[in-house]
A and B are shown apart, each in its own frame.
Chain A
Amino acid sequence: MARGKQTCKILKEIRKQIAEENDIELVIEECTYKGDCLGTCPRCEAEVRYLERELKKRQRLGKVAVVAGMSLGTMLAATSCDTNKSLSKKEPLAGDVVAVAPDVPEVAKDTIPQLEGIVRLLRIDYPFDDVVYEQSMKNLFVFPEMNNLFIRGGKIQYEHIGGGDAYTTFEELIEATKEFRAPYYPEGEQKLLENLSFYLSDYKKGTKNYNGEMEVVFTVDQTGKLSDIEIQKGIDETLDAEVVSFFEPMKWEPAYYQLKDESRDWPFECRCVMQIQFPIRYAETLMGIVPMYNPVLLHLDSVSPEVQAKMVFPESKRLTVNGYELQIPESLYSTYKEYKEPYLVEKAVRIAAPHYLGGEPAMLQFLEEYLGEDARKGSREIEVEFTVLVTGGVRDVEVVRGIDEKLDAQVIRVFKMMEWEPGIWEMESGEQIMVSCSCTQKIYFPLKQ
Chain B
Amino acid sequence: MVKARVIGISRHRLTTDGDGVTTLVAFNGCPLRCKYCLNSHCWDPERGKEYTPETLYEETKIDQLYFLATHGGVTFGGGEPLLQVDFIKEFRERCGTQWQLVAESSLNVPFENLEALDPILDGYIVDIKDMNPEIYQAYTGKDNVVVLKNLEWLLQHRDPNGIMVRVPHIPDFNTDEDVVKSMERLKEMGVKNFDEFNYIIR
CB within 8 Å of B: which residues of A? 7, 10-11, 14-15, 17-18, 38-40, 45, 48, 51-52, 67-73, 76, 87, 89-103, 106, 296, 333, 337
Contact = CB atoms under 8 A, between A and B. Distances in A.
B38 A39 contact: no
Name the prevailing secondary structure of the B interface residues.
Answer: mixed
Contacts of B19: 72
B1 interface: no
B94 to A, nearest CB: 14
Contact of A93 (B6, B62, B65, B104): B104
22 contacts: A11-B12, A15-B65, A17-B69, A45-B62, A67-B65, A69-B71, A72-B15, A72-B21, A72-B70, A76-B14, A76-B15, A87-B16, A89-B197, A92-B38, A92-B197, A93-B17, A94-B38, A97-B26, A100-B9, A101-B8, A106-B11, A333-B97
A94 B39 contact: yes
Interface residues of B, number: 42
Nearest to B195: A89
A98 B49 contact: no
B106 to A, nearest CB: 12
- Report the 4 A-B pairs with minimum CB-CB distance, sorted nearest first: A94-B38, A97-B8, A102-B49, A39-B12
A10 B77 contact: no
Nearest to A3: B14
Interface in B1-54: 6-17, 19-21, 24, 26, 37-39, 48-49
A10 B20 CA distance: 11
Interface of B: 6-17, 19-21, 24, 26, 37-39, 48-49, 62-66, 68-72, 77, 97-98, 104, 125, 195, 197-200
Contact of A10 (B10, B14, B26, B125): B14
Contacts of B104: 93
A14 B69 CA distance: 7
Contact of B15 (A11, A89, A96): A89
Contact of A95 (B38, B69, B97): B38
Given A90-B197, A98-B38, A51 B14 contact: no
A93 B66 contact: no
Contacts of B11: 38-40, 106
A312 B98 CA distance: 32
Given A93-B24, A94-B37, A102 B66 contact: no
A89 B13 CA distance: 11
Nearest to B71: A68
A71 B193 CA distance: 20
Nearest to A296: B98
A89 B6 CA distance: 23
Given A100-B9, A102-B9, 9 more contacts: A38-B12, A48-B66, A69-B71, A89-B197, A92-B38, A93-B104, A97-B24, A98-B38, A100-B8
Contacts of A87: 14-16
Nearest to B38: A94
Given A67-B65, A68-B71, A89-B195, A97 B10 contact: yes
A362 B12 CA distance: 54
A52 B65 contact: yes
Nearest to B13: A96
A76 B65 CA distance: 18
A362 to B, nearest CB: 40
Nearest to A49: B62
A106 B60 CA distance: 12
Given A72-B20, A97-B26, A333-B97, A102 B7 contact: yes
A96 B23 CA distance: 11
A365 to B, nearest CB: 43
B197 to A, nearest CB: 5
B16 A93 contact: yes
A97 B68 contact: no
A97 B71 contact: no
Contacts of A17: 69
B26 to A, nearest CB: 5
A103 B21 CA distance: 22
A71 to B, nearest CB: 8
Nearest to A102: B49
A51 B62 CA distance: 12
Given A14-B66, A67-B65, A7 B14 contact: yes
Nearest to A47: B65
A71 B65 CA distance: 14
